[in-house]
Amino acid sequence: MNKDRKLIIAGNWKMNKTVAEALDLVNGLKRELANVKEVDIVVCPPFTALSEVSKAILDSNIRLGAQNMSEHAVGAYTGEIAAVMLKEFSVRYVILGHSERRQYQKESNDLIARKALAAHAAALKPIICIGETLQEREAGRTEAVLEEQLTGSLAGLSPEQMEETILAYEPVWAIGTGRNATSEQAQAAHAFIRRWLSTKFGDTVARRVRIQYGGSVKPSNARELMSQPDVDGALVGGASLEVRSFSDIVKNSI
Q: How far is the CB of 178 from ligand PGA (least distance, A)?
A: 8
191 versus 241: smaller Cβ distance to ligand PGA = 241
Q: How far is the CB of 101 from ligand PGA (least distance, A)?
A: 10
Among the listed residues 71, 98, 132, 163, the single catalytic one is 98
Q: Is 170 a catalytic residue?
A: yes
Other C-beta atoms closer than 10 Å to the C-beta of 151 total 13
Cβ-closest position to ligand PGA? 237
Tell me which residue of 195, 193, 196 sits closest to 213, measured CA to CA: 193
Coil/strand/helix, residue 166: strand
Q: Is 98 a catalytic residue?
A: yes
DSSP conformation class of 28:
H
Among the listed residues 71, 100, 136, 170, the single catalytic one is 170
Angle at 118 between CA 116 and CA 123, to 5 degrees: 90
Tell me which residue of 160, 229, 168 sits closest to 201, measured CA to CA: 160
98 versus 194: smaller Cβ distance to ligand PGA = 98
217 versus 243: smaller Cβ distance to ligand PGA = 217
Is-contact 254 40, C-beta < 8 A?
no
Residues found near ligand PGA in the complex (CB under 6 A): 12, 170, 175-176, 214-217, 235-239
Coil/strand/helix, residue 86: helix
Rg (alpha carbons) of the chain, rounded to whole number? 17
36 versus 239: smaller Cβ distance to ligand PGA = 239
Q: How far is the CB of 182 from ligand PGA (least distance, A)?
A: 15
* Residues known to be catalytic: 98, 170
